[in-house]
Structure 1
Amino acid sequence: MAIPSAIGIEEAVTLHSEPEGDFAAHKSTLNALGTVTLLGADHGLASLYDVAGLAMMWSVLNAWLQGAALLRTAGVDAAKYAAFARQMAVGVADWLPGYAEQIDADSFSAEVATLEGSSIQC
């Protein structure tokens, strides 16, 4: 999960799914590629993680490009928007553990911004 120039540095993430014994036998060689992560024995997991990670990456990038295009109509430079967008991305990333708990528990109760207990009449 890296561009060619990043291969061999820590930022290069290499995903592996194979039996732990096989992985251990080759880990020192694999470490030369970058940060190596063993995901389990199921050979399909590395591929699934790759697709899931890329889906998230491209979604975030496309959302940022859309925001930059919107703000450009008001004369806001993309560089100025980048700092705000980074803050928003970190905020969203902070939500992930809570959503993960809901997904894993198969429980999706509304916890914020609900109309329950509100004085609003419909």
Structure 2
Amino acid sequence: MKNTNPMLLTVLSKFNNQEKMKIKDFLLSEIDDDNLNETIAFVKSNDLEKSDKFKDILYEGEDYEGFNIEGNQYLISSKEDNVLVIDSVSEANGVPKNECRLSFYIGDFIELIQNKQEVVKLIDNLM
């Protein structure tokens, strides 16, 4: 894997194989050029900014606390320096929470989503 970003390898090394596959699925189903900058702005913002600037994409259900942006299958929330990604569809279908949730340091999360294609290829090569 020549020319691989060493930071991506370091970030991915924090996750087991099942979690890496969940990261890949999340990236492929939720992150694209249209929402990349909006996702980064959301995770960097405070609660007041989230409720004001992102109200059109916020999760409106009652199953999850805090401010979450809602995608096709996943919810994304952030608090302080941490980002939580929740596979809400799997969770709603009875999959245990520890298999449906991924926690990231905010810098790691941003690095992963900004390098989506490289991360997906890297996960494929690591599996």
TM-score normalised to structure 2 length: 0.27
Instruction: Name which structure has the greater RCO, CA cutoff 8 Å, separation 6+.
Output: 2
Please identify which structure carries the higher strand content: 2
- Structure showing greater Rg: 1
- Pick the structure with more helix per residue: 1
